[in-house]
Amino acid sequence: MKKLLVTGGAGFIGSHVVRRLVTRYPEYSIVNLDKLTYAGNLENLRDIENRPNYSFLRGDILEVNFLRDLFQREDYDAVIHLAAESHVDRSLENPSEFALTNVVGTLNLLHVAKEAWKGNTDKRFYHISTDEVYGSLGAEGYFSESSPMDPRSPYSASKAGSDHFVSAFYHSFGLPTLISRCSNNYGPNHFPEKLIPLMIHNILKGRPLPVYGKGENVRDWLYVEDHAAAIDVILHKGKPGEVYNIGGNNEWKNIDLVKLLCQIMDRKLGQPGGASERLITFVKDRPGHDLRYAIDSSRLQRELGWSPTVDFPTGLEKTVDWYLQNKEWLDHVTSGAYRDYYDRMYSHR
């Protein structure tokens, strides 16, 4: 592989994937295609933006003519498709936006890749999905690659729909596709609408820490750099037409995680114990809130040799340290000032 297109590469997971590919494979050309919505931030990639094997292209996967022209001009060896609307709460407010970006946008990419690659099976169309397509687990058991899809939110329904289209293009047209489904990611550069960065941000601002219901929902947490490493392995070693689950084997109840985060923040900020925990506020549970997710990633570990390397206490400490050391970034993404950076740095490109 020589030329890779990463969609959504300015987002949280995407920026870590782009950074890993750019630094590990200097002989590759990595093109980052991103619309730069509120969650896409080129400041996430400042440290590599001048690397000779990296380039940024602003564009929308809903613009099929733009994509067709791009694929006709450039001979991409692989597409790593991360561009998506991803926040469940936002999907409850605007399901149509999620259907357009996540389903229609993916379908556009599949169409233009099929046209441009003309049956070349050495290419790779790699679609990044989520464990949320499987629905909700009870107190026991794990999601495997053969678990049936049972999405409960507009977000997970849109991702399940895009998964089905990716699979259909493999079976119907022979497009060499890959799909991976990961558990909840955490780490640096995460936009502060998701649980961990939201709690960190609100503690810093002295704001309430909203926890849905009684905080008993369980999630499996995966450090984002471990996810990027898994994507790297699947891209290079995965078998076309297959699905791979990526999990951290690291389950936490939301309330226990928030309390642990409060303890870490109090220690880091030199506050008395319990200061942050007093900010916890239980709020009405959101509709269709899945009780538990847990991923069985044994196939990925067994067949491709990947395993998570960052334990949760270490990863959480690293995450908190990053936000404390990058308060300016946090202020930018929550104030809208970062858009001036985009216009100043990239409007001419």
Q: The whole model's pTM is what?
A: 0.94
Residue 298: inside a domain, yes or no?
yes
Average pLDDT, stretch 120-139?
Answer: 94
165 within a domain of the structure (yes/no): yes
- Predicted confidence band at 24 (pLDDT cuts at 50, 70, 90)? very high
DSSP for 284-340, please give it.
PPPTT--SB--B--HHHHHHH-----S-HHHHHHHHHHHHHHTHHHHHHHHHSTHHH
Asked whether residue 337 is assigned to any structural domain, the reply reads no
CA-CA distances (angstroms) from residue 214 to 49, 94, 292?
Answer: 43, 26, 14
Where would I find the beta strands (DSSP E) of 8-150? 29-34, 54-58, 78-81, 124-130
Residue 181 maps to a domain: yes
155 part of the active site = yes
Residue identified by tokens 């030329």 is 3
Q: Catalytic residue at 131?
A: yes
Q: Which residue has the tokens 């946008």?
A: 105
Give residue-wise pLDDT tens across range 32-76.
999 998 888 999 999 999 999 999 999 999 999 999 999 999 999
Domain of residue 306, CATH code: 3.40.50.720
| From 54, 126, 142, 155, the catalytic residue | 155
pLDDT tens digits, 217-247: 999 999 999 999 999 999 999 999 999 999 9
348 falls within a domain: no
Asked, for residue 332, whether it belongs to a domain, the answer is no
pLDDT at 347 over 50: no
Are 2 and 74 spatial neighbours (Cβ–Cβ below 8 Å)? no
pLDDT digits (tens, 9 = 90+) for 1-16: 699 999 999 999 999 9
Exactly one of 34, 43, 85, 132 is catalytic; name it: 132
Expressed as residue numbers, the domain containing 34 is 3-187+223-249+289-310
Residue from 224, 216, 226, 229 nearest 257 by CA: 216
Identified catalytic residue from 34, 43, 85, 131: 131
- Asked whether residue 120 is assigned to any structural domain, the reply reads yes
Q: Quick check: is 264 in a domain? A: no
Residue 341 predicted with pLDDT over 60: no
Q: What is the pLDDT of residue 346?
A: 46
Number of domains in the chain: 1
In 59-202 the beta strands, taken as DSSP E runs, fall at 78-81, 124-130, 177-182, 184-186
Segment 255-260 shows an average pLDDT of: 96
